[in-house]
Structure 1
Amino acid sequence: MGFPGGRRSLLLVVVVLLATVAVAATVWRVFAPAEVSTPARSPYPTAPSPAPGVVSRLPVAPLVVDGRLRVYAAQRQVYADRSLDLRYRTTPYWSYRRWPAELAGVVASGPVVVTRWSDGLLVAVDARTGRVAWQTEGPVPARTVTARRTGAATVWSPEGLFVAPTAGDGAVVVVAGGDGLAAVDLTDGRLRWRAGVGAGCHESIGTTVAGRLVSVDVCDGPATVEFRDADTGTVEIRWRPPGAGDALVATPLGCRTGRSGCAGLRTVTGTGDDPGRGWLLGDGEPSAAPVLDQPNSALAGETAVGTDGGALVGRDARTGAERWRRAGLGTARVLAVEPDRVHLVSGDNYLVTLDPVTGARRSSFTLTVGADGTGWAPGAAYAVDGYLAVERLREPVDPEADDQRYFFTSEPVLVAAT
């Protein structure tokens, strides 16, 4: 008499087990580690040549790649659109997404886009096709940097991620994180070297035009600037500026992009009322460059740009000899530099771009688009290949405000051709 009831119980158990398996399978499909690569479906665009002026207004910060694409960063995705002279962001040209890792930084050299993830994985994407070129393990980032809505910190100046030249026109990607450093070949992701460093006491700040990784080390004594060959990993120079204390701060200057390919350095020793000293970087120890001592001075190629008596002055960075002087620029200040351009912005957001060697004006126009006006303050800026991108911040600027209050409009990033 109890058999039919037992059969029903067995059937119920089977149904529950099947439902559990189905739910588990669904959860696994949704939450399992995964990557999704969506390659390009159209030809690689040609490099545009837009006339000087604002060319686009964007909700997020672009990385200019190969003079052709705009590459963007999201929490778990890197994607590109085309082309650089389009007014608005468009449907992705290609996209690469990972789960559950988060995107920690992006750098590019030529058509190679290298992404770094929170689990330490490095993934290179060929910008021409959107296909993954290589993957390799690297040091896990020492900390998670929370980027604001535009993602500028991830693409314009990523922490612990740099590009450096090597012999024979090659290049490596140098990665710093936690207690380790590593360099991989930009072309194929092959590990070139790996080195251990002290955790929490060794900070890599950039790479030089001569192919060195620059770090500030406080692990084994007073704060010291360390120069490591990015090709071999060999520490070539350990150097302390005169009068350096334990609170040495070093900031790269004259970088080709982000904090890679830098030609100078400014140090603040942390002793007395030291405002800082400027240095030029080459094959040996840094050489003093007094024209870069001023905190508001900039280095563009081999020209130091600063103010003197209300005029903007360009001087030979090595000798200090005056190359040019321009008065009548009012309150204009240096917003960004490239080896062949100095970008100045005035109080009414009028952009003037000068040739750093001659001081000649290359272009000038108001940084505005549509009916947005100029009632905003410049935030983070980035310049490469003759393009300038700048965040627009709501005045008065409040760094503690949420993104809606902090940024000017929902499309706060302007890109201009100069």
Structure 2
Amino acid sequence: MGKPAGRRILVAVVAVLAVAASVAVVLRVLAPAEVETVARGAYPAAPTPPVGVIGRLPVAPLVVDGRLRVYAGARQVYADQPVSGKHRVTPFWSYRRWPARLVGVLAEGTTVVSRWSDGKLVALDARTGRVAWRAEGPEPGAVPKPRRTYAATVWDPAGLHVTRAADGRAVLVAVGADAIGGYALADGRRLWRAEVAGDCRADLGTTAAGELVGVDSCAGPATVEFRDAATGAVRTRWRPPDAPEQLVVTPVGCRDGHSACRGLRTSGRGDETGRGWLVPSEGEPVAAPALDGPDAELDGEHAVSTAGGVVTGRSARTGAELWRRADLGAVRILAVEPGRVYLLTEGRALITLDPATGAERSRFVLDIGRDGVGWQPGRAHAADGYVAVERLREGARADDDDQGYFLMAESVLLAHT
């Protein structure tokens, strides 16, 4: 005999309710969402830690306002404090999105801008972690999968740059696969948008003169293009004298990542030397021979080079030698920030010099506990007198997996100079 009608109806209702509940759970889990966890405590004061290595971290910190450390994850941007803490601790604030992935983080003052794989731009107030504004940006092109430290995401965010317009306004520029957008950093208002051909051009960063610099090869030989970051209008198109057909352009003298850069280095494919140029407030770049070569860096008007085992400071504009240090041995430039150039010795000592005078500001070995100095440097970041550097295994190669690439789980050292 069949089941009574009432029982069959009850079973059907239960089945429908079960399916509906499952659908609700799936939708709740997979539906687009964001989670904003704001700070519960007061904004910390800026500490004054002693000079030396502060601690080690598993992920790369972006030092913000001399008070916080901001980190990236696959779908999260978060901060801890104090900036001088020995280890990463419970987040001070956190912001998550789903299902988009985080592709870049940039900080200007107390504004932290995050960029996501769907093009969304979300600005957070570093003091509270609250969302300050949201904006629709161009979807980014292909971004390499970050390594486990997320150093590239926070120290050199792909296609995300900031600069100052002629009137002093902070302008954010987001470069996508086929479009570029300019935004007012204060409120996220879009200032302009330009559709571009992504397969024959590369936009590299912003200049201190308020421009977006790129290389355009869509209609002929590769040409350097300077676009007003506040309006989107192309100001200048320029090719270096005797430039090769395939032109490689590298921004130098940048404040963070490829933002607010004061110079360029141009070269051809396979050319490791290159020619240095200063970017003026108007007109074409000006030759700066003191920036020729990959071992020269720029801080404002001062070029510092480590060529030939001698550290030399020169006027970037005239090339005149300002100072010379032959007592430091074999060193390489690890990072530069305004008023400081950081040199790394073969013995893994970090030496901080004044780029204007060559005077030594601090010196100590980048070591903590019993970790030792048997490592090679990876990416590095400097801000507000703090320096962070990835420690790689000796002999690590770019195609190694993370286990074989990094020295240990807490592979990032943080130091105060």
Q: TM-score, normalised by structure 2?
A: 0.97
Contact 1:104/1:145 (<8 A) preserved: no
Q: 1:167-206: per-residue Cα shift (whole Å, max 9, x none)?
A: 3332011000011000111110001111111122221111
Aligned residue in 2 for 1:97 = 96
C-alpha deviations, 1:75-127, integer Å up to 9, x for none?
00000000111111010000000000000100010000000000000000000
| Structure 2 residue 155 is matched with structure 1 residue 156 | yes
State the partner residue of 1:61. 60
User: How far does the alpha carbon of each residue in 1:154-175 deviate from its partner, in whole angstroms, 9 at most, with x for none?
Assistant: 0000110001112333201100
- Contact 1:243 1:269 (C-alpha < 8 Å) held by counterparts: no
Q: Distance in 2 between matches of 1:49 and 1:282?
A: 36
Q: Deviations over 1:200-222 (max 9, x none)?
A: 22211111111110111111211
Cα distance in 2 for partners of 1:256, 1:53 equals 23
Report the Cα offset of residue 274 of structure 1: 7.4
Q: Deviations over 1:277-301 (max 9, x none)?
A: 1000112210001111112111122
- 2:150, 2:134 → 1: CA distance? 23
Q: In structure 1, how many angstroms separate the alpha carbons of the residues matched to 2:202 and 2:308?
A: 37
Q: Alignment partner of 1:257: what SS? A: coil
State the distance in 2 between where 1:316 and 1:296 align.
16
Are the aligned partners of 2:272 and 2:294 in contact in 1 as well (CA < 8 Å)?
no
Q: 1:124-139 residue pairs with structure 2 within 5 A?
A: 124-139=123-138
CA contact (8 A) 1:301 1:356 kept: no
User: 1 CA distance for matches of 2:93 and 2:9?
Assistant: 51
User: Is 1:282 aligned with 2:303?
Assistant: no
Deviation at 1:308, TM superposition (A): 5.0
| Alignment match, 1:73 | 72
Sequence identity (%):
59
Range that drifts further, 34-43 or 285-294 = 285-294
Q: Which residue of 1 aligns with 2:296?
A: 297
Q: Deviations over 1:125-151 (max 9, x none)?
A: 000111000001000001132100000
Query: 2:23 is paired with a residue of what secondary structure?
Result: helix
Does the C-alpha gap of structure 1 residues 74 and 309 become closer, same or farther in structure 2, counting only changes over 3 Å? Answer: closer
Alpha-carbon distance in 1 for matches of 2:140, 2:66: 29
1:47 aligns with 2:46: yes
Greater mean deviation of Cα atoms: 134-143 or 289-298: 289-298
Residue deviations 1:50-95 (CA, integer Å, cap 9, x gap): 2211112100001111111000000000000001111110100000
1:242-321 aligned within 5 A: 242-270=241-269, 275-283=273-281, 284-307=283-306, 309-321=308-320
Give 2:227's aligned residue. Answer: 228
Separation in structure 2 between the aligned mates of residue 398 and residue 178 of structure 1, nearest angstrom: 29
- Work out the CA distance in 1 between the residues paired with 2:11 and 2:349: 74
Structure 1 residue 309: deviation in Å? 4.5
Partner Cα distance (2:164, 2:148) in 1: 32
Pair 89,308 (structure 1): closer, same or farther in 2 beyond 3 Å: closer
1:310 and 1:144 mapped to 2: Cα distance?
36
State whether residues 143 and 158 of structure 2, in contact with CA within 8 Å, keep that contact through their aligned partners in structure 1.
no
1:208 to 1:57, Cα distance in 2 relative to 1, 3 A: same
What one-letter code is carried by the residue in structure 2 that aligns with 1:199? Answer: G
Give 3-state SS (helix, strand or coil) of 1:219's partner. Answer: coil
Distance 1:177 1:310 in 2: 41
Trace 1:14-413 onto structure 2 (pairs within 5 A). 14-270=13-269, 275-283=273-281, 284-307=283-306, 309-413=308-412
Post-superposition Cα deviations, 1:1-54, rounded to whole Å, max 9, x if no partner, equal: 86x633222222111101000101111111111000000000001111222111
Measured after TM superposition, the shift of residue 304 of structure 1 is 1.0
**One-letter code of the match for 1:253?**
V
- 8 Å Cα contact 1:75/1:103 also seen in 2: yes
Segment of structure 1 superposing worse, 72-81 or 286-295: 286-295
Work out whether residues 246 and 270 of structure 1, in 8 Å CA contact, stay in contact via their aligned partners in 2.
Answer: no
Size of the alignment, in residue pairs? 416
1:274/1:158 CA distance change after superposition, 3 Å: closer
1:278 alignment partner AA: G
Query: Is the CA contact (8 Å cut-off) linking 2:295 and 2:307 kept in structure 1?
Result: no
**C-alpha contact (below 8 Å) 1:138/1:182 kept by paired residues:** yes
- Structure 1 unaligned spans of 5+: none
Distance 1:21 1:116 in 2: 35
2:361 maps to a residue whose letter is R
Structure 2 Cα separation of the partners of residues 71 and 151 of structure 1: 11
Code of the residue aligned with 1:279 in structure 2: it is W
How far, CA to CA, are the matches of 1:215 and 1:262 in structure 2? 13
Kept after mapping to 1: 8 A contact 2:118/2:139: yes
Matching residue's letter, 2:129: G
Distance 1:41 1:220 in 2: 55
The offset of 1:341, in angstroms, is: 0.7
Give the deviation of 1:398 after TM superposition. Answer: 2.1
The answer to whether the 8 Å contact 1:61/1:413 transfers is yes
Q: Kindly tell me: are residues 383 and 274 of structure 1, through their superposed partners in 2, closer, same or farther at Cα, counting changes over 3 Å?
A: closer
Q: 3-state DSSP class of the match of 1:16?
A: helix
1:312-367 CA deviation, whole Å, 9 max, x = no partner? 11000011111000012111111111121110001110110000000000000000
Q: In structure 2, what is the Cα distance between the partners aligned to 1:297 and 1:182?
A: 32
